[in-house]
């Protein structure tokens, strides 16, 4: 028979009165000295850590990544150094714009964040289910997210805010078109691709650098809801994607993705039609074919959602030796922003939380801060260099300089000549769609733009229509007809 456990305070002190407060007599006032009452209420008040500003609602699971192909000519990263090698991973999926209580089937991009627990430290590959993004400079990000959240006056979501921003920022068009297609409402997390989205770099044993993009291809097959199906599911089961993931893993139907990469040399980058570091653009796979790397499998549900999924913290800054950054402006901004967000949300020592902790040795001079749980370095010195410990800088892990030509630091127009083609790729994407996909995408755009209201409605609609026309004439005409816009005026505006 299992032995009973004693009820204790958080400090381990046993107590008996868990349901009744200490009072002066049967009906008298409560005494200040009832510490258990204080502890219960104070902890309850703090049970909700600040939710993520974006990607607030998510699902996650543990699994493994297995190398299936040799890519050592591109990278010395140990996670890839042997065919057959397995690395533990944690993957968190999420919606982007909604709060923690929002529905899983909202029209929204989906976060796809993977933490690889490698022997050279944790690698966080933090992307989405789309290969591009809405903006390409981090200064634009807070403004963009404000338009996806709630109107400061009505506290409701606003189509006017969203389309006003998008119509004023045509760099968003590629991602907006994907969002308005059926890919904007995935059937489940298991049935969608994942992307690193940004351009990163690989460094090999000869200190040679190539540019790289990461693609996770679902082995379950792509499956999407139509707009009507997604809306119906929101009412039936707002937690559909969470439930689907948990139940699939519980029944042994482990979801899997094939990791593939695209590789571009510096010479190819110099001659590429678009800026290869622009996250609103893709690298055409006909020019830069996918290269097989390995398979990621999710096979273990966390035993406690808060401990693992809610406290999971990812940051694109976390890259091990052999993997590095690029001049991608959005990536550069995220290197700072994500770690800062986690320190605000979870505290300075968030990387000591089990789901975030590196399973291998960690040695540094960080000390103190809330929730320090690793002994805080004991009696060891807390500065470097010093004459007492034997921690040495890992000079054999030095990264080669990033060749950027004769460029200088400054503030440059992100949409200057040569950086302002926002239309070719979205137009190509639309023309690749099947007739049914085109019809669904147009219907979704018309439905979404129909929510634009207020005195600037005509201005916003016409401005956005101008972008659709520039991407593809037939797309613009179909949207204008759907919105009951006078085609002659719309064409004149275009």
Residue 288 CB contacts under 8 Å (≥ 6 apart), including other chains:
213, 262, 263, 264, 268
In a domain? residue 103: yes
Q: In this predicted structure, what is the pLDDT of residue 2?
A: 58
Question: In CATH, what number is assigned to the domain containing residue 480?
Answer: 1.20.1370.60
pTM: 0.90
User: Which residue has tokens 């006032």?
Assistant: 29
Joined tokens for residue 357: 């902790």
Question: In CATH, what number is assigned to the domain containing residue 87?
Answer: 2.40.180.10
Asked if 111 and 209 sit in the same domain, the reply is: yes
What is the C-alpha separation between 327 and 324, in angstroms, rounded? 11
Asked if 320 and 205 sit in the same domain, the reply is: yes
Residue 424 CB contacts under 8 Å (≥ 6 apart), including other chains:
none
Q: In this predicted structure, what is the pLDDT of residue 17?
A: 80
Joined tokens for residue 337: 């922003």
Joined tokens for residue 34: 């009832």
Asked if 222 and 251 sit in the same domain, the reply is: yes
352, 382, 411 - which closes a domain: 352
Residue 245 domain boundaries: 58-129+186-352
What is the C-alpha separation between 199 and 109, in angstroms, rounded? 19
Asked if 175 and 249 sit in the same domain, the reply is: no
In a domain? residue 361: no
Q: In this predicted structure, what is the pLDDT of residue 464?
A: 96
In a domain? residue 229: yes
Asked if 329 and 443 sit in the same domain, the reply is: no
Other Cβ atoms within 10 Å of 35 Cβ, number: 13
290, 324, 352 - which closes a domain: 352
In a domain? residue 481: yes
**So which residues are the catalytic ones?**
55, 128
Joined tokens for residue 326: 């690029």
Phi and psi (nearest 5°) for 45? -65, -20
Q: Which DSSP state fits 14?
A: B
Asked if 336 and 460 sit in the same domain, the reply is: no
Q: In this predicted structure, what is the pLDDT of residue 362?
A: 85
Residue 42 CB contacts under 8 Å (≥ 6 apart), including other chains:
none
pLDDT values of the chain reduced to their tens digit, one per residue, 494 residues? 557 777 787 777 787 887 788 888 888 888 878 877 887 777 778 888 899 999 999 999 999 999 999 999 999 999 999 999 999 999 999 999 999 999 999 999 999 999 999 999 999 999 999 999 999 999 899 999 999 999 999 999 999 999 999 999 999 999 999 999 999 999 999 999 999 999 999 999 999 999 999 999 999 999 999 999 999 999 999 999 999 999 999 999 999 999 999 999 999 999 999 999 999 999 999 999 999 999 999 999 999 999 999 999 999 999 999 999 999 999 999 998 999 999 999 988 889 999 999 998 888 888 888 888 888 889 888 888 887 888 877 777 788 887 777 666 677 888 989 999 999 999 999 999 999 999 999 999 999 999 999 999 999 999 999 999 999 999 999 999 999 998 877 777 65
Element of type H or E holding 465: helix 457-471
Asked if 173 and 200 sit in the same domain, the reply is: no
CB 71 within 8 A of CB 291: yes
Q: In this predicted structure, what is the pLDDT of residue 448?
A: 97
Asked if 320 and 309 sit in the same domain, the reply is: yes
What is the C-alpha separation between 83 and 76, in angstroms, rounded? 13
Asked if 251 and 278 sit in the same domain, the reply is: yes
Asked if 197 and 162 sit in the same domain, the reply is: no
Q: How many domains does the chain have?
A: 3
Secondary structure of 178-202 as H, E, C letters: HHHCHHHCECCHHHCCEECCCCEEE
DSSP 424-442: HHHHHHHHHS-HHHHHHHH
293, 317, 352 - which closes a domain: 352
What is the C-alpha separation between 56 and 448, in angstroms, rounded? 23
Joined tokens for residue 288: 């830069």
């Amino acid at each position: 028979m299992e032995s009973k456990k004693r009820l204790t305070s958080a400090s381990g002190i046993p107590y008996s009165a868990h349901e009744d407060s200490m009072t002066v007599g049967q009906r008298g006032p409560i005494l200040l000295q009832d510490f258990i009452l204080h502890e219960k209420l104070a902890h309850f008040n703090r049970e909700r850590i600040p939710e993520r500003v974006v990607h607030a609602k998510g699902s996650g699971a543990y699994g493994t990544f297995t190398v299936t192909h040799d890519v050592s000519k591109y990278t010395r990263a140990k996670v890839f150094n042997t065919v057959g090698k397995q690395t533990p991973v944690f993957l968190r999926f999420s919606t982007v714009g909604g709060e923690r209580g929002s529905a899983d089937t909202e029209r929204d991009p989906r976060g796809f964040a993977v933490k690889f627990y490698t022997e050279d430290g944790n690698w966080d590959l933090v992307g989405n289910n789309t290969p591009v993004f809405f903006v390409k400079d981090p200064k634009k990000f807070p403004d963009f997210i404000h338009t996806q959240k709630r109107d400061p006056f009505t506290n409701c979501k606003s189509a006017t805010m969203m389309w006003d921003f998008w119509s004023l920022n045509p760099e968003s068009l590629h991602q907006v078109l994907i969002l308005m297609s059926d890919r904007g409402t995935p059937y489940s997390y298991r049935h969608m691709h994942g992307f690193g989205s940004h351009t990163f770099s690989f460094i090999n044993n000869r200190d040679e650098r190539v540019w790289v993009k990461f693609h996770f291809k679902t082995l379950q097959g792509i499956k999407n809801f139509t707009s009507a199906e997604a809306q119906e599911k929101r009412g039936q089961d707002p937690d559909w994607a969470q439930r689907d993931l948990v139940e699939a893993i519980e029944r042994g139907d482990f979801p899997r993705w094939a990791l593939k990469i695209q590789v571009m040399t510096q010479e190819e980058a110099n001659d590429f039609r678009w800026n290869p570091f622009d996250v609103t653009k893709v690298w055409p796979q006909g020019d830069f074919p996918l290269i097989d790397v390995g398979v990621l499998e999710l096979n273990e549900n966390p035993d406690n959602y808060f401990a693992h999924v809610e406290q999971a913290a990812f940051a694109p800054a976390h890259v091990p030796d052999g993997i590095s950054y690029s001049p991608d402006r959005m990536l550069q901004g995220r290197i700072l922003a994500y770690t800062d967000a986690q320190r605000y949300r979870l505290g300075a020592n968030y990387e000591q939380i089990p789901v975030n902790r590196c399973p291998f040795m960690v040695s540094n001079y960080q000390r103190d801060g809330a929730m320090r749980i690793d002994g805080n370095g004991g009696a060891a010195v807390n500065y470097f260099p010093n004459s007492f410990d034997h921690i040495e800088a890992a000079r054999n892990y030095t990264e080669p300089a990033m060749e950027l030509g004769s460029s200088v630091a400054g503030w440059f127009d992100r949409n200057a000549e040569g950086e302002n083609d926002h239309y070719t790729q979205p137009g190509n994407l639309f023309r690749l769609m099947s007739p049914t996909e085109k019809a669904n995408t147009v219907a979704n755009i018309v439905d979404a733009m129909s929510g634009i209201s207020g005195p600037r409605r005509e201005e916003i609609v016409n401005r956005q229509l101008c972008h659709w026309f520039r991407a593809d004439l037939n797309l613009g005409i179909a949207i204008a007809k759907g919105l009951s816009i006078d085609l002659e005026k719309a064409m004149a505006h275009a």
